[in-house]
Structure 1
């Protein structure tokens, strides 16, 4: 049974996550400050550190929610697309990934920009959120490569994710890639259309 102190801590944790999520979405993870969060959540600055070990731990909590939302967007992009080819479903999911990254660029960047020390452990729930995202990609990949074992499939899923992620990242950094965002979907389609054809 949870005590009132534990309940208050959970309420504070939720308020801080919401406040941090809003600030990251608007201003980016680099602009996150404890004083601003305390004001937004209606608590003392010191109270933040009773709820989370540090701001990185709070950012991880926000990232966990972002991964869940991203996973839902990717999964829903292929709802009702059961008759589409595996390649078409990969393209639909990749375009959904691009759409999420474009609409929530700062939250999306925070997933990959988190500063961690070499000895920091990535929480299990964070890894599980990433595995869930990869599981959506794994289904069509398994159809394209039916002879692959689990290890080969996992590597291919990660390779395809990395490829799409790189295209999206450079597409959002137009000054680097010089590719208009409208053309990024076309690039993704061109790359993924070649998967499984060799």
Structure 2
């Protein structure tokens, strides 16, 4: 049975995660400051370091929440869709929508880096499976010859292609697709990939 001290520590962690998430959503990862987080959470600066090893570990928790929300959004996007090509198209549009509507939190998933020599914990690496997990089933229908690691690798490549287009567009790179045209261009990309996969 948890004691009061553990309950208080857990409550502090949740307040810090909430505060960091809110700040990243508004100002992006580069705008996150430990003092601002602890002020918003209503605790002293030192309390952050009793709850988390460092600010990077707090960011991992925020990214964990974002991955969970992204996974739920992708599931919702295909809830009423049938057929592997339609599922792939819906997943891509669900990804575009989530990235656009949660841009700074979504970007934090891909821009946050732990200090050199420190690996992300296994639990967090495992959570990233949500990025390709739902691609695997429709892809296996389109390419029944692919199994195991080959199937997972191809699903990762499909994800990377869509993600690259979305990232370039939303970060306003010179070669990026104009944001207004992003859904249509992603749809065209996925359609082309599906035709290629079926051949």
Structure 2-normalised TM-score? 0.93
Deviates more, 1:126-135 or 1:165-174: 126-135
Provide the C-alpha distance between the structure 1 equivalents of 2:169 and 2:184, rounded to a whole number of angstroms. 11
For residue 154 of structure 1, the aligned residue among 152, 155, 178 is 152
1:136 match: 134
**C-alpha deviations, 1:39-81, integer Å up to 9, x for none?**
1000000000000001000000000000000010011100011
Name structure 2 gaps, 5 residues minimum: none
Provide the C-alpha distance between the structure 1 equivalents of 2:120 and 2:138, rounded to a whole number of angstroms. 28
1:51 match: 51
CA apart distance, 1:90:
1.0
Runs ≥4 residues deviating over 6 A: none
2:65 match: 65
For residue 120 of structure 2, the aligned residue among 113, 119, 122 is 122
Deviates more, 1:170-179 or 1:58-67: 170-179
For residue 167 of structure 1, the aligned residue among 129, 142, 165 is 165
CA apart distance, 1:178:
5.0
2:2 match: 2
Deviates more, 1:110-119 or 1:4-13: 110-119
Structure 1-normalised TM-score? 0.94
Provide the C-alpha distance between the structure 1 equivalents of 2:170 and 2:130, rounded to a whole number of angstroms. 24
Deviates more, 1:60-69 or 1:127-136: 127-136
1:14 match: 14
Number of residues paired by the alignment?
196
Name structure 1 gaps, 5 residues minimum: none
Deviates more, 1:168-177 or 1:10-19: 168-177
